[in-house]
Amino acid sequence: MKINKKKFIYLISPNNITVEFYKDLKLVLSTNKVSFFQLRLKKYSLKKKILIGKRIKKICQSKKVKFIVNDEPLLAKKLNADGCHLGQKDMHIDKARGIIGNKIIGITCHNSIRLAKIAIKSNPSYLAFGSFYSTRTKKIKYKASIKIIQKSKKLTNIPIVAIGGINSKNYKNLLLNKANFLAISAYIWNNKKYKPKKAIEILK
């Protein structure tokens, strides 16, 4: 998988999709800082996810951003997404490959080198570690430290995605410690100070 250092953001959807969201998404992606956009909707019906996904995928394609579906390889296939992201409780990567073929598949490894070593055997597109900082997006069960990035870099060349509470005050530390991509959601979509486009422009 090619890594463009300028496009270091792995953007995750907000929990709720509003009418304004699509306009904001176009503006955010036009900053040319985003490599991936992940559709992560826990509360929506399959029908609604398909409708929302189709619309988002068009925007992603127009901005040359990879469109990823969280948790659901079958939905990824239905939307003809660029790939899917798998948590530890989701389908095994080999089974997911059987559904979506040779597309992007990333795996959550929480804060565990043991899980990373297991994942590496299946040759995923990226490994995701976190949560590095406290976040309101989801309940934190696992706390990751910079050391996990350093350890995994010694094991593999597979790109590393850092996740959890990343914002303008702490993001540089992760990039300096060789995280390839930063997964960000709340800082962009629920920022009390800045609109989404302004929030992403601050990350340089």
Domain ranges of the chain: 9-201
Max CA separation in the chain (angstroms): 44
| Burial of 89 per CB tally in 10 Å (0-12, 13-18, 19+) | exposed
Q: Which fold has domain 9-201?
A: TIM Barrel (3.20.20)
Task: Tell which residue, 125, 129, 127, has the closest CA to residue 100.
Answer: 125
Q: What is the DSSP letter of 6?
A: T
Residue ranges in 63-185 assigned as alpha helix (H): 73-78, 93-100, 113-121, 146-155, 171-176
pLDDT (0 to 100) of residue 29: 98
Q: Which residues of the chain have pLDDT under 50?
A: none
Q: Does residue 51 sit in helix, strand or coil?
A: helix
21-43: pLDDT as tens digits:
999 999 999 999 999 999 999 89
Residue 56 and residue 39 in contact, taking contact as beta carbons nearer than 8 Å: yes
pLDDT (0 to 100) of residue 43: 92
Contacts of 184 (CB under 8 A, 6+ apart): 9, 10, 11, 12, 166, 167, 171, 203
pLDDT (0 to 100) of residue 134: 83
pLDDT (0 to 100) of residue 11: 98
> Which stretches of 24-180 are assigned E, i.e. beta strand?
34-39, 66-70, 83-86, 104-108, 126-130, 160-163
pLDDT (0 to 100) of residue 138: 63
Residue 188 and residue 199 in contact, taking contact as beta carbons nearer than 8 Å: yes
| pTM given for the model | 0.96
